[in-house]
A = this chain, B = another copy of it.
Amino acid sequence: MSMTSNRVANKSSGSRTKDLLERFQTVRQFSNFLCEPLSPEDCTVQSMTEASPTKWQLAHTSWFFETFILEVVQPDFRPFHPQFRTLFNSYYNTVGDQHPRPGRGFLTRPTLETVLEYRAHIDRAIENLFRNDRLDASSLEVLELGIQHEQQHQELILTDLKHLFFMNPLRPVYREAQKLGSGDATPLDWISFEEGLYKIGHHEDGFAFDNEGPLHKVFLPSFKIANRPVLVREYLEFIRDGGYQTPELWLADGWAAVQNEGWEKPLYWLSDDEEVRAFTFGGERTLSLNEPMCHVSYYEADAFATWAGCRLPTEQEWEVAAQGESKEGNFVENQIFHPSPMISGQTKFFGDVWEWTRSPYMPYPGFKPAQGALGEYNGKFMCNQIVLRGGSCATSESHIRSTYRNFFFPNARWQFSGIRLAKDNL
């Protein structure tokens, strides 16, 4: 299967399998860990069509293993519940009907308790397959995909939950905010690249999604890219300069969004008069001016870049620039759940915030979706969405890499999405 075609084994097959089991267990447990502070009510409600209830995501990630591994491999497979096939099918038409997306929040049953049993049941079944050596290479590849898939949903659990909590005037606290340093105003620096042919796409050992390949050549004109994401202090200047009131800075569809949605500041900002007060996973708090900007749409990112006399990087430029950079950063393992202030001297490409590129999410040359249901994983979304790169404070460190292509619609603001500037090298 193409998703994992580059996952060439350097290790012995046995130790690789054992690693996989461990990662399976670790990742599955981390989902449960994320839900510990949540009540059954918190896990059930859907705050908008684009978001899914936590409970649904806990079940759906289990459904993935059940449908694509257990059902294929177990000789005497019997579903945990016959209707789960439909209820927790997200969008796989090849698998069959799906419970309508806007109705995910009506599923008060199965209860959270039952869903946790469902998870445990699937975990045991998968572990049994490992124990009995029932997983061939193809199943192991799907299992790897299932693990990565669950990591993606861990991030969505967090972002969807933040949106839900924001709808509640009580402003619930998910986890108490950790004391964060205030950082300093790391100066913006430009990294230059010469024009030339560059290789883009996944080509190393290790897992990658099918949309990260095939490896291919692109010609890039000379460009410069910022050494760090845009900070709160910079975005605040844009706001105070009338950014949200100046149509010339905006894409036409962006300006329409500003007017129709009444946007005057980023999502979750409560006020920006003296200091910036925002809703976070630690409740309402004052943002550091030196932390990376977050919760902006592509439209806002683009307007900011225009205002700054720059532009957003293409995803190819971003990838070329990030290839040699350190992957250290503020990921979900930090359990801060918020971008952390910059510290001078850092060149940050990973963690904190996903960075909007200016690249529509399209197939790479030669891309072919996999056969069967898993071919629906990525390919059919290659329209109307924009690529983001680099991972965020809600992403697993083990999940990210320089070729990773995240994608959202250009009006999406509820992800930890920020801005990196670029410009032509004239």
A340-387 interface (Cβ within 8 A of B)? 358-360, 362, 365-366, 376, 380-384
Number of copies: 4
Q: Taking the complex as formed, is A94 at the interface, i.e. its CB lies under 8 A from any CB of chain B?
A: yes
CB atoms of B103 and A167 under 8 A apart = yes
> Measured between alpha carbons, how far is A359 from B411 in the docked complex, in Å?
20
Flag if A91 contacts B47 (CB, 8 Å).
Answer: no
Tell me if A86 is interfacial: C-beta within 8 Å of chain B: yes
A382 to chain B, nearest CB (A): 7
Q: In the complex the two chains form, is B380's CB within 8 Å of A108's CB?
A: no
Contacts of A99 in B (CB 8 A): 169
Q: Which chain B residues lie closer than 8 Å to A229 at the CB level?
A: none
**Residue of B with least CB distance to A380:** B252
Which of chain A's residues 89-134 have a Cβ closer than 8 Å to chain B? 91, 93-94, 99, 103, 105-112
* Mask of A211-255 contacts with B, CB within 8 angstroms, 1/0: 000001111110000000000000000000000000110111111
Most B CB within 10 A of own CB, among A94, A168, A218: A168
Q: Given known contacts A41-B44, A44-B45, A164-B108, is B91 in contact with A365 (CB within 8 Å)?
A: no
Interchain CB contact (< 8 A) of A41 among B40, B167, B380? B40
Contacts from A to B (Cβ < 8 Å): 39-45, 47, 55, 83, 86-87, 91, 93-94, 99, 103, 105-112, 164-165, 167-170, 172, 197, 216-221, 247-248, 250-255, 298-299, 302, 358-360, 362, 365-366, 376, 380-384, 410, 424
12 CB-based A-B contacts, threshold 8 Å:
A39-B109, A42-B109, A83-B169, A93-B247, A99-B169, A103-B167, A105-B105, A107-B168, A218-B218, A251-B383, A253-B383, A358-B362
